[in-house]
Structure 1
Amino acid sequence: MMQPNNIGKLEMILAMMLSSTIGVFVYESGQVPLNAVFYRCLFGFMFLGFYAWVRGYLDASKVTGKEWLLMLVGGVTLVVNWCFLFTSFSFAPIGVTTVAYHTQPIFVLLIAALFLRERFEPHNWLWVLVAFSGVLMIVDPFSGGWSDNLILGIGSAIIAAVFYALTTLITQRLTHIKPHLIATVHLAIGTLMMATFAPIKEVPAAGDHWYWLLALGFLQTAVMYILLYGAFQKLETPMIAVLAYVYPVATVVVDYLVYDSAITPLMTLGMVAILFAGFAMNRSIRPLQWWKREQAY
């Protein structure tokens, strides 16, 4: 019988693998980003909400007014993040934009330091520099062949990362609330929010797009969240941080296999720089200490 730790690792890897196909399902649905976000919220709310209700996770009797407000703001930032992320898929290769989106751990630390007065270790500035050097390598502004679409795609992904970082920091303050309840509330807020300005009347009444949108809500939202929360309950934070990198790496592979997206050596180097910088910040790697240790020998 598998140990809980191994089950948690499997759940986390499966959740990240599902996440890696989000861009494909959004693109294949043929819908504008705002409509894709609306139906992800709607179908995700229906599926995840039903699961959470059956499991008894929707008890909100102890939620305070301040916590409801935080969930409301967190829902808005999460949905805005999806709007920009899905928009990025329209302009640049899905694998590239997803790796740029993985600057989010860096923005979590930066925002916490700037606005929440949390300590920002000096060595982290090196990793910020490495990450944004990676972004520059992907865009490659010095080649003389600026691509407006690539810049729009990378820019949208980075804006999405900022909003996801805000969502993370807000949700961290809801420690005693079931994550399933938080996610269900976020999806409900997203459904109402997107229904007001997404051009949903333009979606054809019949067509294959419904299969892609339903799968986006069921697999990449409800099932993914269930697996993710199951993993969170079984794994230590460092292991979660490491396994989270399955998502961008798998997305690059999926993008290549499905769309044969060409990735230049410089782009590859840039993506490695972004991923390593995020990993180094998560693991609090201090290169100066390494250097001092080497000098001591």
Structure 2
Amino acid sequence: MSIQAAELQKKGIVELTIAMVLSGTIGVFVFESGAQPFTVAFCRCVFGAGALGLYCWVRGFFSDTGFTRKTFLLALLGGVFIVYNWAFLFSAYEKTSISLATVVYHTQPFYVVLLGALVFKEKLTAAKLGWVGVAFVGVVLVTDITSVTVSGSYLLGIGEALLAALLYAFATIVAKQLKGIRPHLIALVQVTAGIFLLLPFVDFSGTASIGGGWAWLAGIGVIHTCVMYVLLYASYQKLPTSLIAVLSFVYPVVAIIVDMSVYGTRIHPLQIVGILLICGASLANSLGTSQRAGRAVSAGKSA
């Protein structure tokens, strides 16, 4: 690796680490805003669209968007999945905890694997199926029926986190069809669409009493949408997939630490085992996928 490439990779590591740390703090912003989950998601779209629109305008991205009618409609479809994924994840925070909802949400790579097999006829190996099984054993342990007073609301929260992960996986599958378009513009289309998609579910009567919560809502839009996405997209261009997979685990780790520090959430032994199973299986699956991609590239170069 050249000195220049090494410096770019170091910069990418810093960018992605900051982005993952920001991701791990979003639960606090959701709770402290005092707004309902769908209202939070709506405000994220409003403030995020404003910040991303300004960023894209300053960078001159509107001069040649690269969108066709088909890709624009696909971006809108991805927006449907993305914004409802946010709403259900925020709702899962309230019903379970930031820690548990985030870890369960981290099963999303396995949905991508399963959907890839269904949609793109990608080969579903025994190893992939094995890691999917390990991850969902982890989900069962995270639920920890023997150690917590399980209510219908709690189980619904686990279900919402799983649903949010599935919606994110659908968005990922759609994104695979949007090659050659700046991801910042795709995100802008999606959050703008989200304003109209979430509007019917917004509790405007509840927003009158949140006061300082508006600052937290603005933070979710500006910090966790615009700034975080800009850092993510910048880092992806500088890092190999394997390193991205490893650094992505900064997100759940920070979420757990923040949840325990700020809200005093306690995680029971079986839940810890479940967290380790989910994160370990996800990492193994991601690293296995990136290594196969690397071998395919090498084979292509030698042919």
Normalised TM-score (structure 2): 0.90
Comparing 134-143 with 16-25, greater Cα deviation is found at: 134-143
Q: Kindly report the root-mean-square deviation, in angstroms, between the aligned alpha carbons of the 2 structures.
A: 1.7
1:24 pairs with one of 6, 25, 28: 28
What is the match of residue 292 of structure 1?
none
Using a 3 Å threshold, how does the CA distance of structure 1 residues 278 and 144 change in structure 2: closer, same or farther?
closer
- Whether the aligned pair in 2 keeps the contact of 1:58 and 1:180 (CA below 8 Å) is no
2:155 pairs with one of 151, 154, 157: 151
- Whether the aligned pair in 2 keeps the contact of 1:82 and 1:160 (CA below 8 Å) is yes
What is the match of residue 211 of structure 2?
207
What is the match of residue 99 of structure 2?
95
- Whether the aligned pair in 1 keeps the contact of 2:39 and 2:201 (CA below 8 Å) is no
AA of the residue aligned to 1:44: G
Structure 1 residues 17-65: Cα deviation after superposition (integer angstroms, max 9, x where no partner): 0010111100111100010000000001101110111101234553111
What is the match of residue 111 of structure 2?
107
Shift of 1:267: 0.5
Shift of 1:195: 1.9
What is the match of residue 43 of structure 2?
39
What is the match of residue 197 of structure 1?
201
Q: In the aligned structure 2, how far is the partner of 1:144 from the partner of 1:192?
A: 38
Partner-residue secondary structure (3-state), 2:35: coil
Shift of 1:145: 4.7
Structure 1 residues 100-142: Cα deviation after superposition (integer angstroms, max 9, x where no partner): 0000000000011123211111111111111011011111235
Structure 1 residues 236-268: Cα deviation after superposition (integer angstroms, max 9, x where no partner): 111111111110111001100110101001101
What is the match of residue 237 of structure 1?
241
**Is 1:56 the equivalent of 2:60?**
yes
- Whether the aligned pair in 1 keeps the contact of 2:34 and 2:210 (CA below 8 Å) is no
Within a 5 Å distance, the mapping from 1:119-138 to structure 2 comes to: 119-138=123-142
Shift of 1:7: 0.6
Shift of 1:143: 6.0
What is the match of residue 294 of structure 1?
none
Structure 1 residues 62-102: Cα deviation after superposition (integer angstroms, max 9, x where no partner): 31111011101000000111111011011011011100000
2:164 pairs with one of 157, 160, 163: 160
**Is 1:278 the equivalent of 2:285?**
no
What is the match of residue 184 of structure 2?
180
AA of the residue aligned to 2:282: G
Q: In the aligned structure 1, how far is the partner of 2:110 from the partner of 2:233?
A: 22
Shift of 1:220: 1.0
Comparing 28-37 with 2-11, greater Cα deviation is found at: 2-11
- Whether the aligned pair in 2 keeps the contact of 1:133 and 1:273 (CA below 8 Å) is yes
Q: Which runs of 4+ in 1 moved over 6 A?
A: none
How many percent of aligned residue pairs carry the same amino acid?
A: 42
Partner-residue secondary structure (3-state), 1:162: helix
Q: In the aligned structure 2, how far is the partner of 1:93 from the partner of 1:62?
A: 41
What is the match of residue 3 of structure 1?
7
- Whether the aligned pair in 2 keeps the contact of 1:90 and 1:153 (CA below 8 Å) is yes
Using a 3 Å threshold, how does the CA distance of structure 1 residues 278 and 59 change in structure 2: closer, same or farther?
farther
Normalised TM-score (structure 1): 0.92
Q: In the aligned structure 2, how far is the partner of 1:61 from the partner of 1:178?
A: 7
What is the match of residue 68 of structure 1?
72
Specify every segment of 5 or more residues in structure 1 that has no aligned partner in the other structure, as ranges. Answer: 286-297
1:258 pairs with one of 255, 259, 262: 262
Comparing 72-81 with 187-196, greater Cα deviation is found at: 187-196
- Whether the aligned pair in 1 keeps the contact of 2:16 and 2:231 (CA below 8 Å) is yes
Using a 3 Å threshold, how does the CA distance of structure 1 residues 180 and 205 change in structure 2: closer, same or farther?
same
Shift of 1:152: 1.6
The structure richer in helix per residue is 2
Partner-residue secondary structure (3-state), 1:3: helix
Specify every segment of 5 or more residues in structure 2 that has no aligned partner in the other structure, as ranges. Answer: 290-303
Q: In the aligned structure 1, how far is the partner of 2:145 from the partner of 2:84?
A: 28
Q: In the aligned structure 1, how far is the partner of 2:278 from the partner of 2:66?
A: 40
- Whether the aligned pair in 2 keeps the contact of 1:34 and 1:194 (CA below 8 Å) is yes
Shift of 1:206: 6.7
Using a 3 Å threshold, how does the CA distance of structure 1 residues 234 and 202 change in structure 2: closer, same or farther?
same
Shift of 1:197: 3.0
* Count of aligned positions: 285
